[in-house]
Structure 1
């Protein structure tokens, strides 16, 4: 992992999965600080893809709360995109139509104005999945340019994506982002799944910049860790 380390999120907060995000503040501050403090000659990532080692890892919760944190605490212009085309959820949480959305934008039939803005945070729904064979799954390269075009409007773009081991769309997207954050569920995500995910990300030539160990529980009394 080249930029950030594995960050731990508290189990009691992760299971709640709702605002406010106070229990996550320290975790997100570490994640943001380490991303922004890049080695000499490297630029901070602008397009981040969050994906996990299976359903239930908390990817949508972590990506959503991190987007809120950056927009409200760091005052960055952030675009949060629902790139989980098999199980889209952001449109339900933000009470917006499921389409048009990201798939429509990649197809070129809609512009970036389909995102719904709330202060510094904008949210883009997943859109019409039937369009994907003509964009992400067709081998076309212009969707990369479309994704990069969004970077001119926002300081950070966060994609909430499905597991790369089961979703070919995530494989295509991972190759054109600045970095991937892997979300693992403590005591649930198996090592074999982690290895399979990393192999797929390597094949996609994606850059894994860090990870989140979600739902971590401390079975030993806290005072023994100090």
Structure 2
């Protein structure tokens, strides 16, 4: 079975330590293997904890919960980093330049970004172990909403990833096309990824596919629950 990684971020963690929230996922861009999960304890002063993804159990769709085999001591000893607010950044950047409110007033969502904390300032690790891990691997939060290019043209933006827990591999990239109110999504194999260009805001992705390949690509919903 395949699972949406952005959806999993909303699932409940079933762990010995109470109040844990899954805040991000760290993976190997070369193989698609999930390496770490980022855990929020709900106490901002403690930062985010990086725990091995191998501690995750099998997802339970019925209860929308993820078993996490981590003890209080393991959580206390885990590497820490400061986290970021990529969900807000992605939402704001996807909205149109002007939004008309219910009473006719106009608002500029992009202007809001100037008042948001900079994710580049917030996601600097404070623990050398976390710094080494995040330098070596990539995070879902750094990839979401980044532009995606094919071999001949721009394809859209990265909207999600589909994960196979049995193989512990990201199986598909979900490419979004269209605007905030009329978007379409297509799933392409993770193996089609050929390059990730670095950049201050996450850079962009390049696939070894022509842009026209999206026309025949399946909708991600058709892949969830099995290939």
Shorter-chain TM-score bucket reads under 0.3
Which TM-score applies when normalising by structure 1?
A: 0.27
In proportion to residue count, which structure has more strand? 2
- Return the index of the structure with the highest Cα Rg: 2
